[in-house]
Structure 1
Amino acid sequence: MALRSISFNQDYTCLAAGFDAAYKVYNCDPFGECFQKADDGGANLVEMLFSTSLIAVVGIGDKPANTMRKLKIINTKRKAVICELTFPTAILYVKMNRKRLVVVLVDQIFVYDVSCMKLLHSIEASAGSNDRIICDLCADDESVLVFQQSGSSDELAANAGTVVVFDALEIQPINVIECHKSPLQRIAVSKDGRLLATASVKGTIVRVFRVADGRKVHEFRRGSYTAQISCLSFNVDATVLCCSSNTGTVHFFRLDDVNRRRSTESIDADVDSSETLPRESSITEEESSEINRLINSQLGGHNGFAKKKSAESLKNFIWSKSKTYLPSQINSILEPKRDYAFIKLSTEVESVVGLVDNNCYVATRAGDFFVYSVQPGQCVLLKHYKIE
């Protein structure tokens, strides 16, 4: 059977998979199938509600009863449909927590009360450059919903990297955050709804913002070359951010409390006027002597290799010292933080990622399920299973 969708539940204890002729649920630890249903066709989307018996399923559209416009809420214990919702166009995403169900179409977002499946609110939206709406819903009952800003074609182009923060519990907007100049590719909100992670279609920089005030608290460099980000996910306590792409690489970025309280300005923002540029201090006597020594070795050297080596040493020394005289905002721009750990899969494939303690679960669109031990540097593969 061809694999059509994969997604973890809210605490990464289970994996839901949609196939062209069935849909299944797997336990992650130990890995194994715990539910399957094949009598009503395949599934284009399968979303779980934590580890409860409720799952949301969208069909593949191969027959009228399995249309992609219909959402089915299924009780896995009874293998019975308990609710059906039909929409005017195909369903692109489904997000759930214990309070809210969010259904995303190409031009609308619907918010439902999970307890009674009552429609509470609808939001007019517009698809971005990828012809889809980017969104996420926090797992906790606070029900923070984040999605790309919409508008007319001109407005959408101007705000392609802007995220709207919406309180789906109280049905009111919270904030609008300008995240990137380029269109958004992927966004994720932490379990408690306090942090927002974003990546643009370029896929080189990943940013983390504080939801309450929109301040940027982290900026990470994923890589130097463009990549399509397939997953952004926080671990449960939002101390680590995971990022996977179509290059087959998974990166882990540390979200320490000290840096979370600080805010670094974006590359095109004004430098804080409270910090002068350059910093009002002179170089030390030791630094001056080292510069003079390197200059003299460069001027006095006759050997070509020696001159090249001393010139390189001079450049590196001046660069490393010059950074200490720049405001912290500029240093953040020049050197975004990098990952502390990474996974390199054997093939370039899209994946979804879940981090639990020091173990990372990686499920790929090729039908592989990996368990890695996360440690500084390259992570260690512990187990490998097939999603089938």
Structure 2
Amino acid sequence: MPADQLDLIHCLLRRGEQRKVIAARAGVSSRTVYRVLARLGSVPRPADAEYVARYLSQDERCEIARLHDLGWSVRAIGRRLDRAPSTISRELARNRDPKTGHYLPHHAHTQAWVRQRRPKPSKIAADPRLRAWVRYMLKQRLSPEQISGRLKVRFPDDESMRISHETIYQSLLVYPRGELTRELKVHLRSGRTTRKSRGTRTNKHSRITDAVSIHDRPEEVEDRKIPGHHEGDLIKGSLASNSAVGTIVERHSGFVTLIHLPEGWAAEKVAAAVSAEMSQLPAWFAKTLTWDRGTEMARHTDITAATGIKVYFADPYSPQQRPSNENTNGLLREYMPKGTDLSVHTREDLDAIAKQLNNRPRKRLGFHTPAEVFAKLLAEDQTKGVATTP
């Protein structure tokens, strides 16, 4: 870190600024500010530093004491001070005189300043006996949650031998300051030496350019009454085989088309195979295609250019937006189980499987088959064509 940036952080820490404010001013993360503060040990709070509005002030604490002595309820005090009842309840519980039971506002305010001092020594660092037990049980390959629960069983009447599993995890992975040696990390069953982020999932399909959302799809697609709108995806084989089969289902009839991908499922291969299959369908039966956000559809513009079919993309991790395709994929797993090499299925094999599915009666179709519905649509189109011929 540049010296001037570090000096700025030190200056803002001495002024009592919050970590988030310091991070924004210095152009670093809040975690970086914490690390600087940890190396300093602590920074003396300036005499003129004040609480931000979210903390109770000394005047509010005095008012809590006065109203509490008058017999006001926690909720009534909260309404008077515009604070949550839980805030008042915790404040009263942690700052009572152990002998008399009275709330001590001035002592409470002083203790609040003390409790805010950072960094704090962890509970493990402050208690050698607790630390020894945690070390022992980690070496026995117990998880932090098991350690926390086991200590309650082992020492049912000793409150000093209580520790949460989160505190153990933080001591091991987040803020190791020597209280637990790094060697003990290897005893965690996960095998990780760093904390796994639980933040927002990143979209691994971000490489699809010019993707049109499912929410921009024509309204006529939703009710299944008009034929020509399809849903598609890949079903994949074993990791070793890196094989896949494309599956496309027409929403009105349930008609299934299987895409043979003998050369793998790279985007250009999928685009060429989908274009070849869909171009064999009548134009009125091939209007739109809604696909999962898999990168195999990165060349979706090639499909549109070759066939005129408009491609739309479902939201990430939303298979329920392609119900016909998801249902069909479940049926296909009877023929192509998970974890198997799908490259062994020839074009003829896929045609035979699709034929079986298309001749399977569907309750939604009044127990007619997709093949029968498709044949009826073809006949109606041919009749229209004859009727309009001059």
Instruction: Calculate the TM-score normalised by the size of structure 2.
Output: 0.23
Task: Determine which structure has more spread, i.e. the larger CA radius of gyration.
Answer: 2
Instruction: Calculate the TM-score normalised by the size of structure 1.
Output: 0.23
